[in-house]
Structure 1
Amino acid sequence: MEIKGIKKLQLYGFNNLTKTLSFNMYDICYAKTLEHRQDYIKYIDEEYNAERLTVILTEVANIIGATILNIAKQDYEPQGASVTMLIAEDKVDQKPDGTSEHDELKSDAVVAHLDKSHITVHTYPESHPDQGVSTFRADIDVSTCGQISPLKALNYLIKSFCSDICIIDYRVRGFTRDINGKKFYIDHKINSIQNYIAKDMKDMYQMIDTNVYQDNIFHTKMILKEFDLDNYLFGTAKKELLPGEKKKIKQRLKKEMLEIFSGRNIPKV
Structure 2
Amino acid sequence: MGEKMKLYGFNNLTKALSFNIYDVCYAKTAREQQDYISYIDEQYNSQRLTNILTTLTEMIGAKVLNIAQQDYEPQGASVTLLIAEGSMVPAGQTQLAHLDKSHVTVHTYPEYHPETFLATFRVDIDVATCGEITPLSTLDYLIGSFDSDIITMDYRVRGFTRDVNGKKLFLDHRITSIQDYISDEILRRYDTVDINVYEANLFHTKMMLKEIDLQNYLFKTDVYELPPRTRLNIMDNLRREMIEIFSGRNIY
Can you list the C-alpha shifts for 1:125-177, whole angstroms capped at 9, x where unaligned? 01122221111000000110011110111110011012111001111001001
Counterpart position of 2:242:
257
Where do 1:149-168 residues align within 5 Å? 149-168=134-153
Structure 1, unaligned runs of 5 or more: 103-108
**Residue 16 of structure 1 aligns to a residue in which SS?**
coil
Indicate the percent of aligned positions where both proteins have the same amino acid: 61
Which of the numbers 34, 41, 48 marks the counterpart of 2:37?
41
Can you list the C-alpha shifts for 1:168-199, whole angstroms capped at 9, x where unaligned? 11110010011122111000000000011011
Structure 2, unaligned runs of 5 or more: none
Counterpart position of 1:56:
52
Which amino acid is 1:20 matched to? Answer: A
Which of the numbers 192, 216, 231 marks the counterpart of 2:201?
216
Counterpart position of 2:176:
191
CA distance in 2, matches of 1:234, 1:127: 13
> Given that residues 18 and 116 in structure 1 are in contact (C-alpha distance below 8 angstroms), is that contact kept between their aligned partners in structure 2?
no
Which of the numbers 226, 237, 250 marks the counterpart of 2:211?
226
> Given that residues 170 and 217 in structure 1 are in contact (C-alpha distance below 8 angstroms), is that contact kept between their aligned partners in structure 2?
yes
> Given that residues 37 and 75 in structure 2 are in contact (C-alpha distance below 8 angstroms), is that contact kept between their aligned partners in structure 1?
yes
Counterpart position of 1:203:
188
Counterpart position of 2:17:
21
Can you list the C-alpha shifts for 1:44-75, whole angstroms capped at 9, x where unaligned? 11100000000000000000000001110000
Where do 1:111-126 residues align within 5 Å? 117-126=102-111
CA distance in 2, matches of 1:232, 1:54: 26
Which of the numbers 76, 81, 84 marks the counterpart of 2:80?
84
CA distance in 2, matches of 1:201, 1:50: 26
Counterpart position of 1:106:
none
Which amino acid is 2:65 matched to? Answer: L
CA distance in 1, matches of 2:121, 2:155: 22
TM-score by length of 1: 0.88
Can you list the C-alpha shifts for 1:15-51, whole angstroms capped at 9, x where unaligned? 0100111111011110121111111001111100000
Alpha-carbon offset, residue 101 of structure 1: 6.7
